[in-house]
Amino acid sequence: MLCTLVRKYKMARYTTITEIAKRLGISHSTVSRALNDHPRISEATKQKVQELAKQLGYQRNTSAHAFNKGQSKMIGIIVPDLSTHFFAKVVRGVQSVLSQQGYCMLLFDTSESMQRESEAIASCIAHRVDGVLAAISMETNAFEHFQQLSQHEVPLVFYDRVANFLPVPKVISNDYQAAFDATNHLIDRGCKNIAHITASINLNNSNNRLYGYMDALSAANLEVQEDMIHYYRMQPESIDLFIESLLHKHPEVDGIFVFNDYSANYTVNVLRQHGKQVPEDIAVMGFSDEPVATHMTPQLSTMKQAGEKMGQLAAQKILSIIQNEEPMVDEKIIINPELIVRAST
């Protein structure tokens, strides 16, 4: 018979300086100084304190120490969708910089919800974070919650998806040029009737990719047709209807540039359902270089974004502001994506 012992936990319990002081019959301040190797404390007392601290599993409360200096040593990180590999790489880049400086992350996944985004900002303020790094959600069309940070003098740095009119630093990809290059790649491959599937009118990177696409067509003396452009708002099923309509109205379509790789993969599958071969009938171009780009058939041509580098630059910027090495000003730090050519084009 297999027996399982279950231990009930009420609340996390950590050994405190007060507990060590009580057991040894000395003052709280003496224990604190002994643990910090203060020269005014005798070696014998230091040894007794440090041995008992080790025996009880004492860990220094770095949060309390930081709060005493008016800091939390925490940075709030707001992510629209952590299941997206790009944003996971951004978080990895942020963490690599913060950990070197003794900072912790308070991570929020908004799941593309403005409501959750607003709640994340409120939580950041409640936890007295030293700064916030944020990419806005697909739904975000108002920004009062971000403006609350300035009321509390909490530095804010946007990354990837930004609110252009807020006067704070922004670390972004060169979405316009990358989209221009992606569309131009399709044109160079002989495509003359190119459609575009983009995300949401609320997103700066969505609109910048749209402008890059349109300008590339214009530069090649190709017509920009409104009914060949689709905002799918992170609802893949809308792509089904768009492709069906596109093939009916524009049977001559020979290329599609898609906002991200996940949607490009979905697009390829929908085209197959309509009897279209990629790239023989219609070439498909993605954006970001997510893992799906090399796992799908055919492998996807795309624009490679440097997610980890973006996270590192955003973290370096927020720390420089917090540590008063530079002021918080309205500036853009721009990273250029790289064209990756694969079988889909």
- Asked if residue 186 is part of any domain, the answer here is yes
Same domain flag for 40 and 81: no
- Asked if residue 342 is part of any domain, the answer here is no
CB atoms within 10 A of CB 6: 4
CB atoms within 10 A of CB 253: 21
Same domain flag for 182 and 300: yes
CA proximity to 50, closest of 78, 20, 75: 20
For 322, phi then psi, to 5°, come to -60, -40
- Asked if residue 345 is part of any domain, the answer here is no
- Residue 26, pLDDT score: 93
3-state secondary structure of 96: helix
CB atoms within 10 A of CB 69: 8
The C-alpha atoms of residue 184 and residue 192 are separated, in whole angstroms, by 10
Same domain flag for 221 and 104: no
> For residue 236, which amino acid is it?
P
CATH of residue 85's domain is: 3.40.50.2300
Per-residue pLDDT of the chain (345 residues; tens, 9 = 90+): 444 455 555 555 778 888 999 999 999 899 889 988 898 999 999 999 899 988 988 877 655 555 555 578 999 999 999 999 999 999 999 999 999 999 999 999 999 999 999 999 999 999 999 999 999 999 999 999 999 999 999 999 999 999 999 999 999 999 999 999 999 999 999 999 999 999 999 999 999 999 999 999 999 999 999 999 999 988 889 999 999 999 999 999 999 999 999 999 999 999 999 999 999 999 999 999 999 999 999 999 999 999 999 999 999 999 999 999 999 999 999 999 999 999 999
- Asked if residue 223 is part of any domain, the answer here is yes
Q: Are 183 and 193 in contact (CB under 8 A)?
A: no
Same domain flag for 199 and 295: yes
- Asked if residue 9 is part of any domain, the answer here is no
Domain that holds residue 234: 175-304
Domains of the chain: total:
3
Same domain flag for 126 and 245: no
- Residue 3, pLDDT score: 47
Same domain flag for 293 and 182: yes
CA atoms within 13 A on the CB side of 149: 28
- Asked if residue 192 is part of any domain, the answer here is yes
Same domain flag for 198 and 167: no
- Asked if residue 328 is part of any domain, the answer here is yes
Same domain flag for 44 and 106: no
The whole-angstrom distance between residue 211's C-alpha and the CA centroid of its chain comes to 23
CA angle, corner 308, sides to 173 and 290, nearest 5? 75
CATH of residue 37's domain is: 1.10.260.40
- Asked if residue 343 is part of any domain, the answer here is no
The C-alpha atoms of residue 37 and residue 81 are separated, in whole angstroms, by 45
Same domain flag for 200 and 266: yes
Same domain flag for 179 and 294: yes
Same domain flag for 267 and 294: yes
- Residue 32, pLDDT score: 85
Same domain flag for 214 and 158: no
State the first-to-last Cα distance of the chain, in angstroms, to the nearest integer. 62
